[in-house]
Amino acid sequence: MIPPKITFRGHSFSMDLYEGWLDKTIYTIAGPVTDGIQHNIIINLNPDVETDNLRDYADWNIASLTGELKGCRLLFQGPILLANGLPAYKAIFCWFPTDELRIYQEQIYVLVGTTGYNLTASFTKKTRKTLGPLVERMMLSFNPVPPTASPNQSR
Number of domains in the chain: 1
CATH number for the domain that contains residue 107: 3.40.1000.10
Query: Residues 83, 84, 89, CA angle at the centre, nearest 5°?
Result: 65
- Rounded-to-integer distance, Cα 59 and Cα 65, Å: 10
Q: What is the mean pLDDT of residues 11-26?
A: 83
Residue 110's nearest CA partner among 134, 81, 136, 153 is 81
Q: What pLDDT does residue 146 have? A: 54
Going by pLDDT thresholds of 50, 70 and 90, the confidence category of residue 1 is: low
CA atoms of 46 and 64, how far apart (whole Å): 14
- Answer whether residue 40 is part of any domain: yes
Which domain, by its residues, includes 42? 23-143
The confidence score (pLDDT) of residue 150 equals 45
Residue 21: CB atoms within 10 A of its CB come to: 13
For the ranges 20-34, 36-50, 96-110, 128-142, the maximum mean pLDDT occurs at 128-142
- Does residue 126 lie in a domain region? yes
Q: Quick check: is 151 in a domain?
A: no
CA 116 to chain centre: 9
User: What pTM value is reported for the model?
Assistant: 0.84
Q: Are 16 and 23 in contact (CB under 8 A)?
A: no
Residue 25 pLDDT exceeds 70:
yes
- How confident is the model at residue 7, as a pLDDT? 81
In this predicted structure, the answer to whether residue 35 has a pLDDT above a threshold of 50 is yes
With a pLDDT cut of 90, the percent of the chain lying above it is 61
75 and 99 Cβ atoms separated by less than 8 Å: no
Judge whether 91 lies within some domain. Answer: yes
pLDDT at 147: 44
Is 51 among the domain residues? Answer: yes
Residue 1 maps to a domain: no
Percent above pLDDT 70 for the chain: 92
